[in-house]
Amino acid sequence: MPDIFEIDLNVSEERLKGISEETGTGLSLDELKVIRDYFVKEGRNPKDIELQALGQAWSEHCCYKSSKYYLKRYLFNFDAPQNLFVIKEDAGLVEFDKDHAYAVALESHNHPSAIEPYGGAATGIGGILRDVVCMGAQPIALVDPIFFAPPTTSSELIPKGVKHPKYIFSGVVDGIRDYGNRVGIPTVSGMTAFHKGYLGNCLVNVGCVGIVKKKDIVYSRVGNVGDIYVLAGGGTGRDGIHGVTFASKELDDDSQVSSRSAVQVGDPIMKEPLIHACLEANEKKLLTGLKDLGGGGLSCVVGEMALAGGYGAKVTLENVHLKEKDLLPWEIWVSESQERMMMSVREKDLNKVLKIFRKWDVPAVVIGKVIQEKRLLIEWHGETIFDMDLEFLTEGPMYKRPFKKVSTRNENVEFGEPEDYNGTLLSLLKDYNCACDDWVVRQYDFEVRARTFSPPLVGMENCETHADASIIKPLEDSERGLALTSDVNPHFMVLDPFWGAASAVDEAVRNLVAVGARPHSFADCLNFGNPEKPEKMWEFVQAVQGLAHVISKIGATFVSGNVSLYNEGPAGACPPTPTIMGIGLIDDVNKSVTTPFKGNGNLIYIIGNTKDELGGSAYLRYRGIAGGIVPRVNPYELSNASFSLIELMGKGMVISCHDISEGGICCTLAEMCIGNEIGAAITLKGKLRPDKELFSESNTRWICEIDPNDRAEFEDGLRAHQVAFTILGATGGDRLRMAKDGKMLVDIEVKSMKEAWQRPLWDIMG
């Protein structure tokens, strides 16, 4: 059997469709016609390896053909002075101090995790680490926003070809844990959300932040003609073949079997020395370019690096080191086997680079060189099997896909007041979306490398509560820190994708501000359904506009991101989920603030306005009520309140702080009480009905604990920025008491709340 095939595209439309299916390239009929026209001008038919490369480069995952029109129009036209290099690189680069930058990346590994939860999640971590390393940055922290159907889902509701969400949840956490812990990078922040809409397609988003000296920043482009391509890391195998085309279509009931080979196999034991070797070679100024082999493998990395530098490339494919024998050339070219990095190196520095990789016991081989002409040439045992114009290969199509508005339930609903407020609060604390997620967090080593200043769980031993954001101290000789959080509420998104997306940014800002950090940059991972369905495209466009509504007003922008479409399976599409990763800068980590109440007799304030906005709230879900008004966002109020609180925190006036999100004021106060087992007495003073005031999830709100001696200065500071506030009560005792108009609504022991809040995930997951 020959290694290389010619493919005749001068055939009927029906046959063209068959070619796409048979080759697994995922190319549409129109795309194949464009490709056919190109090769007619070339005077020949394409080789199989050329068509496979186009399938990778033009996949949704690689070229964002359905999303980039709307992203460019609405979202990526804002800038901020701290941004150094954004969007076009594998990770965004943002100024940390005068000598250092931090790198930010956020990606998805959804389809692989649905098929093989452990391996899919693990290789997601591996990929996001490489994205940061290829900027010359040392990874310092990982983030894991993950989304599943409830683990209590009845087996009778599981469609054919879908794994049980409890199995998927457990496997995903195991994969993130084992890869992150073994490579020695702490997983310090994240979120775990549950919604029945994730039954057919879980979402596994992973983020990473790294630190780099500005003088050591390296880019994903070659340096000059004559530079040598060096491929380093693990061998190339059949795992991960057609990974990006698999990620660019819906799952079906056969995907568990037919697409398993598209899932890569991770090797964290190879990854750690690979990171060390790459960073050492870069610090010694031996590299002219560095890029990871992610989506599309060699078929994307070689051409993208060459064209970004303004050149072309010539590759000797048989030099690629393999995991197994008898791989066909096109399989080698498109394989997404893990733990591989590509470097461009000046010829005079080649031996020095190879020596470094030998020292770290990491394979590294020469596979090609940079050429003047903007073409990609591949040789296989002396025969040219690939010869294409790089701009045609890498540009890919761009579609302005039509969208159709979906009727939403974002309107007010009528319902009665609950009879038992104590029971309602305890039930909300047991809700998987409100309950403690330390079953997840405690499996991760979140303090490895000793840079975690404030961890994801804070408070007394065995009473720890959730931190709003974790804080990393990247440099030994500097007290400056980075705060990390990730946020989105899928229940808001289902009701109103515009305001749900806006709320995700608001919550990310709130979480950063709650620890004393000023919002500095953001990354987004936009997880949506099939863009070829107008209703799903409408959700995407609405969400992008919602993100832009807030991001354009707060002085910090998106510096990196990812779009993951076709998140649909036998059970339907996932909820629209624009995951936001927020990065905050804090000048002195010693002035940071944590969630738990710290003492007795301190004043408790609510910052911001509480409105009748319960759409998608934990309270209405508990009551079984659909609809309601999804919380709105006023970006100017968010900006003013954030600035004011950060200023007051810098003066040491805020003892504890927690943002108000799921479960409203009631659950927020409960979590603040639990952390140090300190109670509180609260009197509600708003105009809303008591349950609406307690459980509203309106945006731009925090609970703060203040020393009574600082009351006047604290209030003056808020008034100076026109920030709304109200004194709710004071800390003390061992119970949470909440009253309104002389009526006691809630009166519960802190220990009872802690028991309800801590147990749910442990009880179901073991």
Residues identified as active-site: 61, 109
Instruction: Evaluate whether 519 touches 584 at the Cβ level (below 8 Å).
Output: yes
3-state SS class at 353? helix
Instruction: Evaluate whether 296 touches 334 at the Cβ level (below 8 Å).
Output: yes
- Give the count of beta carbons closer than 10 Å to the beta carbon of residue 601: 9
DSSP calls for 356-383: HHHHTT--EEEEEEEESSSEEEEEETTE
Instruction: Evaluate whether 705 touches 718 at the Cβ level (below 8 Å).
Output: no
d(C-alpha 129, C-alpha 525), whole Å = 16
Nearest to 666 by CA among 690, 648, 639, 645: 690
Q: Which helix (H) or strand (E) holds 178?
A: helix 165-183
Burial 214-242 (b: 16+ CB within 10 A, else e): eebbbbbbbbeeebbbbbbbbbbbbbbbb
Task: Give the residue ranges of DSSP H helices in 431-476.
Answer: 438-441
Q: What are the distances in angstroms from CA 399 to CA 31, 195, 437, 631? A: 11, 31, 40, 32
Cα 211–Cα 213–Cα 217 angle in degrees, nearest 5: 90
Q: What are the distances in angstroms from CA 181 to CA 106, 269, 287, 465, 664? A: 19, 11, 29, 22, 34
239: Cβ–Cβ under 8 A, 6 or more apart, which residues? 261, 263, 264, 265, 323, 335, 336, 337, 338
CA dihedral over 330, 332, 333, 338, signed as positive or negative: positive
86: Cβ–Cβ under 8 A, 6 or more apart, which residues? 92, 93, 94, 557, 558, 559, 560
Nearest to 425 by CA among 733, 736, 90: 736
Nearest to 342 by CA among 312, 304, 377, 390: 304
291: Cβ–Cβ under 8 A, 6 or more apart, which residues? 90, 134, 220, 301, 304, 305, 341, 342
313: Cβ–Cβ under 8 A, 6 or more apart, which residues? 222, 229, 302, 303, 305, 306, 368, 369, 370, 371, 376, 377, 390
